[in-house]
C-alpha cells in the first residue's frame, strides 16, 4: 500500500492513521488526496487485524483545514462542483460505516485547526478527542467563503449538537474552542497535547465491540443534559418550525438577503431534518455547485487570498530588515491609544508604556487594557496567570519615564497638527536615532507632522481603526522621506498585533479616509437633493455596507467629520468639496452620538432611536422627496470607487489588491462585492466609466472618471 499523504501504523489491533500533506503548510482535502483516502479506508475495511482506528494529523497545530480553497477556482460548472461533493460524500459515508457496519470504532484525535471539511471528516468518527492547545478550533467557516458546508456538515452536525447550535455555527461561520466544543457535545474529551494519542488509542480500544454506538454521533455526547433539552424542543415539529423561522429571520436581518450561502446552508439543514439524510446530502451537493461559481463566493475567496498574501508582504521593495520591537511607547491612552496598547501587549507580546496627561487618564487607559485582557481569560483564550503576565507588561505614566527605552513610539493623541508636532519634538529628544515614530492620525499628512523632525526618515503613520481590538486593518503611511527600515518595522509589528497591513503613500486622508470623504459628501448632496436620512442610510445598508453614511457620521462625530472634510477640501479643492452642511449642524450643537444630538435621536443612555426630523431645519432643508435606492447607492458608491481609482493612479496605493483590502477591512465595503477594484472588474471598467460620465453630465465635475478607469475601459484589462 503506497500512500503519499498518510502514515499508517497498526499496533495491537489499532490503526493510527496520520494525515500529512508534507508539501503544504496545512492539511487540506481535495481530489489530490481522494485516492490515498480511499486506499486507507479500504485497508481498514478489509484488514481483519485492525479492530479500531485513530485518525490524526502529523502536522503540529493543524488537524485538517478543510477543502483546498485554491482548488475551488478550477471549478467552472455547477455540475462539476456537485460531482466532487458526491465523491466526497461517498468517502465520508464509508468512514462513518467503519464503526456502524464494520464494527471498527473510529476515534478522531484533533490538535489544531479542524475547520470546514476538516470538521466534517471528524464528524464521521465515533468519537472526537481534542487538545486544549490554543490553536485548536472546530468550525464550519464555509459561509465566509460564500459556500455551505458540503462534506456532510449540514447533516451530521445538527444531529450531534442539536439544530440550534449547529445553525449558529454554520450560519455565522464562527469556530468554537475545545472547552466550548466539549460543552456542546461536539467533542467527547479535551486533553493536553502530550497525551492525545495515548488517550485516543485507549478510547479506541475500549470502544471495540460496542457496535452501533458510534457512527457520527457519539454515544456520550448524546447523553449530555443540555443536549436532551434541545432534542425535546427540536423533535417536536412545531418547536422545530419555530426554530428554523427564528434562525432565518436572524440570518436575513444580518445578511439583508445579499449573501446566498447562509440561506442555502439553512435550507440544506432543513431538508435533511425533514426529508432524511439522502435528500440532505443531495441538497448539499447541488447547492455547493451553484454557490462555488457564484460571484459572491468568488469575491469572498478573493478577499481570503488577498489577506493571506498580505501576511507575506513587507510593503517595501528592498531587503531592509525590521527593527526588533519589544518595547512600545504609546502617547495618549484614550480609546485608540488604549486599544493600541492592548493589541501590542496581548497579541504582539510587547512591553508597553502609556503616557497620559493626568492620573485620571492613566487609570482610564489601564482599566481599558485590563478589561480587554479579562475578556480573553473569561473566554478561556488564556489562563488567568497568562492574563496577569500580559497585564504586567502594560504600565502608564504622566511623565516621559520609560520612553527612552522604546523601540517604537505610537502617538494617538487628539487630531491637532501642532500637538502632534510638539510631541514628536519631545520624543526625539529622548529616543535613540533608530527608534520609529508613528502617528495614529486619520487625516493629517505625515509629512506635515514630520516637517520639523530631526529624523524624518523614521516617521510614518500607523492608522488604526476603532475599536482597535476588533478591526482587522492597519494602514501604514509613508512619506517620501520615510526609510524602508521604518516601514518594514511598522508592517511587521502590525502583523504581530494581528492586523492585515497595507502600506500607502502619504497625502491628505491617505487612502481610507480619502475615499470615505466623497462617500460622505455624496450623502450630503443627496440630502440637499431631497432624499431623507432614512432613505440614504437604508439604501447603503441594503447595498451591503454595515451602516449608512449618516449614521456613520453620528458615530464618528459630526465635529470630527467636519474637521476631516475641511482638511480634504483644503487639499483637493472643489473636486472633493461637499455641500457644506457640517457647519449648520455644529452651530445647532449636533456632534452625533457623543452629545446625543445628530441625524438620529438618542435617549439618556445613549441608545439610538429614529431619525431626528428637526435635523432638516438645522440644515436649512425643505420637505423630502423620494429618490430610488438605485440612484442613492449609484451616486455614493461611484463617488467612492472613483476616488479609490485616483488613489491607484497617483500611487497612493501600491496595488488594487491593497485598495480592496483597505476598503473592505477598514470601511466595511461589502465583502461579497470584493472591494472597489474587484467590483469595477465585475461591472466592467467601460460600464463604470459610462456611469461616471452620465453622473458628471447630471451633477458636475466631481464625478469625472479617473484616467486609470478610462485606460482600463479601453484596454479591457482587469484592475485586479
Ligand atoms: C471547505 O472545507 C468546504 C467543505 O465544506 C466542502 C468541501 C470539502 N486551502 O492562515 P495561515 C494556507 S471550505 C488552501 O497563515 P494560521 C494559507 O493560504 C474551507 N490553503 O496560518 C497559508 O498559505 P501560505 C474551509 C489554505 O496558522 C497557509 O495555509 N476552511 C487553507 O494563522 C498557512 O495559513 C477554511 O476556511 C485552505 N483551506 O491559520 C480554513 N487554509 O503560507 C481557512 C490555510 O502559502 N484557513 N491555507 O500563504 C484558516 O482559517 C487558517 O489558515 C488556519 C491556519 C486556521 C487553518
Write the pLDDT tens digit of every residue in 512-523: 999 999 999 999
pLDDT above 80 for 99: yes
CA–CA distance, 97 with 125 (Å, rounded to integer): 9
- Nearest alpha carbon, ligand 1 atom 11: 308
Q: Is 26 in the pocket of ligand 1 (CB under 6 A)?
A: yes
Q: 467 and 436, same structural domain?
A: yes
State what percent of residues in the chain have pLDDT above 70: 97
- What's the 672 CA to ligand 1 centre distance in angstroms? 19
Q: Nearest CA to 642 among 698, 581, 577, 576?
A: 576
- What's the 273 CA to ligand 1 centre distance in angstroms? 30
Both ends of the chain: CA-CA distance in Å?
45
Q: Is 58 in the pocket of ligand 1 (CB under 6 A)?
A: no
- Nearest alpha carbon, ligand 1 atom 36: 141
CATH code at 528? Answer: 1.10.1040.50
Q: Is 67 in the pocket of ligand 1 (CB under 6 A)?
A: yes
Say if CB 555 and CB 547 are below 8 A apart. Answer: yes
pLDDT above 60 for 221: no
Q: Is 234 in the pocket of ligand 1 (CB under 6 A)?
A: no
CA–CA distance, 573 with 561 (Å, rounded to integer): 17
pLDDT above 80 for 228: no
Q: Is 120 in the pocket of ligand 1 (CB under 6 A)?
A: yes
State what percent of residues in the chain have pLDDT above 90: 87
- Region 699-706: mean pLDDT is 96
What is residue 485's predicted lDDT score, i.e. its pLDDT?
98
Atom of ligand 1 nearest to the CA of 116: 2
- Region 393-414: mean pLDDT is 96
- Nearest alpha carbon, ligand 1 atom 48: 308
What is residue 211's predicted lDDT score, i.e. its pLDDT?
57
- What's the 495 CA to ligand 1 centre distance in angstroms? 18
Instruction: Assign 582 a pLDDT band (cuts: 50, 70, 90).
Output: confident
pLDDT above 50 for 214: no
- Region 82-100: mean pLDDT is 96
What is residue 219's predicted lDDT score, i.e. its pLDDT?
43
- What's the 440 CA to ligand 1 centre distance in angstroms? 31
Residue numbers of the domain that contains 50:
6-293
Q: Is 69 in the pocket of ligand 1 (CB under 6 A)?
A: yes
In a domain, 308, yes or no: no
What is residue 234's predicted lDDT score, i.e. its pLDDT?
78
In a domain, 609, yes or no: yes
Q: Which of 177-191, 571-585, 626-640 has the lowest mean pLDDT?
A: 571-585
Q: Is 518 in the pocket of ligand 1 (CB under 6 A)?
A: no
Q: 470 and 375, same structural domain?
A: yes
- Nearest alpha carbon, ligand 1 atom 51: 65
Q: Is 68 in the pocket of ligand 1 (CB under 6 A)?
A: yes
Q: Is 117 in the pocket of ligand 1 (CB under 6 A)?
A: yes
Q: Nearest CA to 566 among 578, 550, 553, 552?
A: 578
CA–CA distance, 415 with 443 (Å, rounded to integer): 8
In the sheet that holds 106-110, the strands lie side by side as 6-11, 14-19, 52-57, 106-110, 127-131, 189-191
Contacts of 16 (CB under 8 A, 6+ apart): 8, 9, 10, 53, 54, 56, 197, 201
- Three-state SS for 14? strand
Q: Is 246 in the pocket of ligand 1 (CB under 6 A)?
A: no
- Nearest alpha carbon, ligand 1 atom 15: 308
Atom of ligand 1 nearest to the CA of 66: 2
Structurally, the chain folds into a number of domains equal to: 3
Q: 360 and 241, same structural domain?
A: no
Q: Which of 19-33, 105-119, 207-221, 449-463 has the lowest mean pLDDT?
A: 207-221
Q: 342 and 392, same structural domain?
A: yes
CA–CA distance, 473 with 672 (Å, rounded to integer): 18
What is residue 237's predicted lDDT score, i.e. its pLDDT?
85
Q: 596 and 489, same structural domain?
A: no
Q: Look up 475 and say whether it is catalytic.
A: yes
Instruction: Assign 209 a pLDDT band (cuts: 50, 70, 90).
Output: confident
- What's the 62 CA to ligand 1 centre distance in angstroms? 10
Q: Is 60 in the pocket of ligand 1 (CB under 6 A)?
A: no
Alpha helices in 276-327 (DSSP H): 277-292, 295-312
Q: Is 308 in the pocket of ligand 1 (CB under 6 A)?
A: yes
pLDDT digits (tens, 9 = 90+) for 6-26: 999 999 999 999 999 988 999
What is residue 226's predicted lDDT score, i.e. its pLDDT?
53
Q: Is 88 in the pocket of ligand 1 (CB under 6 A)?
A: yes
pLDDT above 50 for 680: yes
In a domain, 52, yes or no: yes
Q: End of a domain among 470, 485, 507? A: 507
What is residue 381's predicted lDDT score, i.e. its pLDDT?
85
- Region 346-369: mean pLDDT is 97
Q: 528 and 490, same structural domain?
A: no
What is residue 229's predicted lDDT score, i.e. its pLDDT?
57
CATH code at 471? Answer: 3.40.50.720
- What's the 435 CA to ligand 1 centre distance in angstroms? 35
- Three-state SS for 362? helix
- What's the 547 CA to ligand 1 centre distance in angstroms? 30
- Nearest alpha carbon, ligand 1 atom 18: 308
Handedness of CA 283, 289, 291, 294 (dihedral sign): negative
Q: Is 25 in the pocket of ligand 1 (CB under 6 A)?
A: yes
What is residue 563's predicted lDDT score, i.e. its pLDDT?
86
Atom of ligand 1 nearest to the CA of 68: 9
What is residue 30's predicted lDDT score, i.e. its pLDDT?
87
CA–CA distance, 5 with 27 (Å, rounded to integer): 9
Q: Which of the following is catalytic: 475, 492, 522, 643?
A: 475
Atom of ligand 1 nearest to the CA of 85: 7
Handedness of CA 293, 296, 302, 304 (dihedral sign): negative
Q: End of a domain among 293, 319, 354? A: 293
In a domain, 302, yes or no: no
CA–CA distance, 252 with 263 (Å, rounded to integer): 8
Q: Which of 2-11, 112-121, 481-490, 680-689 has the lowest mean pLDDT?
A: 2-11
pLDDT digits (tens, 9 = 90+) for 605-615: 889 999 999 99
- What's the 66 CA to ligand 1 centre distance in angstroms? 7
pLDDT above 80 for 350: yes
In a domain, 318, yes or no: no
In a domain, 77, yes or no: yes
- Three-state SS for 703? helix
pLDDT digits (tens, 9 = 90+) for 232-285: 677 788 888 999 999 999 999 999 999 999 999 999 999 999 999 999 999 999
Q: 265 and 169, same structural domain?
A: yes
Q: 338 and 268, same structural domain?
A: no
Q: 332 and 252, same structural domain?
A: no
Q: 640 and 592, same structural domain?
A: yes
What is residue 2's predicted lDDT score, i.e. its pLDDT?
80
- Nearest alpha carbon, ligand 1 atom 47: 26
pLDDT above 90 for 204: yes
CA–CA distance, 146 with 617 (Å, rounded to integer): 44
Instruction: Assign 223 a pLDDT band (cuts: 50, 70, 90).
Output: very low
What is residue 189's predicted lDDT score, i.e. its pLDDT?
97
The length of the chain in residues reads 720
What is residue 638's predicted lDDT score, i.e. its pLDDT?
98
Q: End of a domain among 487, 507, 527? A: 507
Instruction: Assign 48 a pLDDT band (cuts: 50, 70, 90).
Output: very high
Mutation test residue for ligand 1: of 25, 64, 111, 303, the one with most atoms within 8 Å of CB: 25
- What's the 612 CA to ligand 1 centre distance in angstroms? 46
| Mean pLDDT of the chain, nearest integer | 94
- Residues forming beta bridges with residue 460, ordered by sequence position: 438
Q: 529 and 497, same structural domain?
A: no
In a domain, 362, yes or no: yes
- Nearest alpha carbon, ligand 1 atom 49: 65
In a domain, 720, yes or no: no
pLDDT digits (tens, 9 = 90+) for 300-309: 999 999 999 9
- What's the 75 CA to ligand 1 centre distance in angstroms? 18
Contacts of 493 (CB under 8 A, 6+ apart): 322, 325, 328, 344, 348, 350, 408
Q: Is 632 in the pocket of ligand 1 (CB under 6 A)?
A: no
Q: Which of 107-121, 244-258, 529-543, 572-586 has the lowest mean pLDDT?
A: 572-586
Q: 440 and 520, same structural domain?
A: no
Amino acid at each position: 500500500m503506497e500512500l503519499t499523504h498518510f502514515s499508517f501504523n497498526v499496533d495491537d489491533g489499532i490503526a493510527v492513521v496520520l494525515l500529512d500533506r508534507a508539501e503544504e503548510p496545512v492539511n487540506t482535502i481535495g481530489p489530490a488526496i481522494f485516492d490515498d483516502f480511499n486506499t486507507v479506508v479500504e485497508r481498514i475495511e478489509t484488514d481483519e487485524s485492525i479492530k479500531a482506528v485513530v485518525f490524526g494529523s502529523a502536522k503540529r497545530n493543524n488537524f485538517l483545514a478543510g477543502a483546498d480553497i485554491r482548488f475551488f477556482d478550477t471549478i467552472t460548472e455547477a455540475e462539476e462542483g456537485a460531482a466532487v461533493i458526491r465523491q466526497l460524500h461517498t468517502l465520508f459515508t464509508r468512514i462513518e460505516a467503519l464503526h456502524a457496519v464494520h464494527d471498527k470504532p473510529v476515534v478522531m484525535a484533533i490538535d489544531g485547526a479542524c475547520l470546514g471539511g476538516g470538521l466534517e471528516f471528524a464528524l464521521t468518527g465515533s468519537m472526537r478527542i481534542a487538545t486544549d492547545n490554543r490553536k485548536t478550533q472546530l468550525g464550519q467557516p464555509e459561509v465566509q467563503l460564500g459556500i455551505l458546508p458540503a462534506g456532510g456538515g449540514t447533516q451530521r452536525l445538527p444531529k450531534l449538537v442539536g439544530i440550534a447550535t449547529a445553525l449558529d455555527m454554520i450560519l455565522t461561520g464562527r469556530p468554537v474552542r475545545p472547552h466550548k466544543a466539549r460543552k456542546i457535545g461536539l467533542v467527547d474529551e479535551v486533553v493536553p497535547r502530550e497525551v492525545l494519542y495515548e488517550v485516543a488509542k485507549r478510547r479506541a480500544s475500549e470502544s471495540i465491540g460496542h457496535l452501533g454506538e458510534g457512527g457520527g454521533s457519539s454515544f456520550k455526547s448524546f447523553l449530555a443534559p443540555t443536549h436532551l433539552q434541545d432534542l425535546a424542543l427540536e423533535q417536536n415539529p412545531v418547536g422545530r418550525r419555530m426554530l428554523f423561522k427564528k434562525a432565518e429571520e436572524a440570518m436575513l436581518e444580518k445578511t439583508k438577503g445579499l449573501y446566498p450561502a447562509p440561506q442555502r446552508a439553512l435550507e440544506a439543514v432543513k431538508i435533511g431534518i425533514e426529508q432524511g439524510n439522502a435528500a440532505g446530502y443531495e441538497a448539499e451537493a447541488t447547492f455547493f455547485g451553484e454557490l462555488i461559481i457564484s460571484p459572491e463566493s468568488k469575491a469572498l475567496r478573493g478577499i481570503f487570498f488577498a489577506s493571506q498574501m498580505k501576511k507575506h508582504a513587507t510593503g517595501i521593495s528592498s531587503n531592509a530588515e525590521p527593527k526588533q520591537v519589544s518595547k512600545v511607547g504609546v502617547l495618549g491612552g484614550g480609546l485608540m491609544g488604549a486599544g493600541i496598547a492592548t493589541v501590542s501587549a496581548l497579541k504582539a507580546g510587547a512591553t508597553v508604556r502609556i503616557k497620559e496627561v493626568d492620573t485620571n487618564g492613566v487609570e482610564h487607559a489601564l482599566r481599558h487594557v485590563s478589561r480587554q485582557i479579562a475578556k480573553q481569560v473569561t473566554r478561556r483564550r488564556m489562563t488567568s496567570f497568562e492574563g496577569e503576565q500580559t497585564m504586567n507588561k502594560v504600565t502608564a505614566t504622566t511623565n516621559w519615564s520609560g520612553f527612552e527605552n522604546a523601540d517604537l513610539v505610537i502617538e494617538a493623541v487628539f487630531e491637532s497638527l501642532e500637538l502632534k508636532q510638539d510631541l514628536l519634538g519631545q520624543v526625539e529628544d529622548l529616543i535613540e536615532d533608530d527608534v520609529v515614530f508613528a502617528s495614529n492620525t486619520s487625516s493629517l499628512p505625515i509629512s506635515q507632522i514630520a516637517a520639523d523632525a530631526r529624523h524624518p526618515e523614521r516617521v510614518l503613520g500607523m492608522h488604526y481603526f476603532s475599536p482597535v481590538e476588533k478591526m482587522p486593518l492597519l494602514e501604514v503611511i509613508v512619506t517620501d522621506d520615510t526609510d524602508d527600515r521604518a516601514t518594514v518595522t511598522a508592517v511587521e509589528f502590525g502583523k504581530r498585533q494581528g492586523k492585515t497591513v497595507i502600506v500607502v503613500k502619504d497625502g491628505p486622508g491617505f487612502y481610507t479616509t480619502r475615499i470615505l470623504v466623497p462617500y460622505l459628501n455624496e450623502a450630503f448632496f443627496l440630502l440637499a437633493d431631497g432624499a431623507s436620512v432614512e432613505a440614504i442610510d437604508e439604501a447603503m445598508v441594503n447595498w451591503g455596507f454595515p451602516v449608512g453614511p449618516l449614521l456613520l457620521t453620528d458615530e464618528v462625530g459630526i465635529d470630527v467629520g467636519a474637521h476631516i472634510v475641511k482638511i480634504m477640501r483644503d487639499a483637493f479643492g472643489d473636486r472633493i468639496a461637499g455641500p457644506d452642511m457640517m457647519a449648520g449642524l455644529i452651530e445647532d450643537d449636533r456632534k452625533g452620538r457623543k452629545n446625543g444630538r445628530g441625524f438620529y435621536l438618542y435617549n439618556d443612555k445613549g441608545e439610538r432611536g429614529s431619525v431626528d426630523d428637526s435635523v432638516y431645519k438645522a440644515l436649512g432643508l425643505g420637505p423630502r422627496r423620494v429618490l430610488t435606492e438605485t440612484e442613492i447607492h449609484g451616486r455614493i458608491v461611484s463617488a467612492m470607487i472613483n476616488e479609490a481609482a485616483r488613489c491607484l493612479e497617483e500611487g497612493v496605493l501600491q496595488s488594487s489588491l491593497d485598495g480592496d483590502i483597505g476598503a473592505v477591512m477598514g470601511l466595511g465595503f461589502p465583502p461579497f462585492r470584493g472591494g472597489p477594484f474587484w467590483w469595477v472588474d465585475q461591472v466592467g471598467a467601460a460600464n463604470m466609466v459610462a456611469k461616471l460620465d452620465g453622473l458628471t453630465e447630471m451633477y458636475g465635475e466631481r464625478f469625472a472618471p479617473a484616467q486609470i478607469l478610462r485606460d482600463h475601459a479601453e484596454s479591457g484589462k482587469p484592475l485586479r
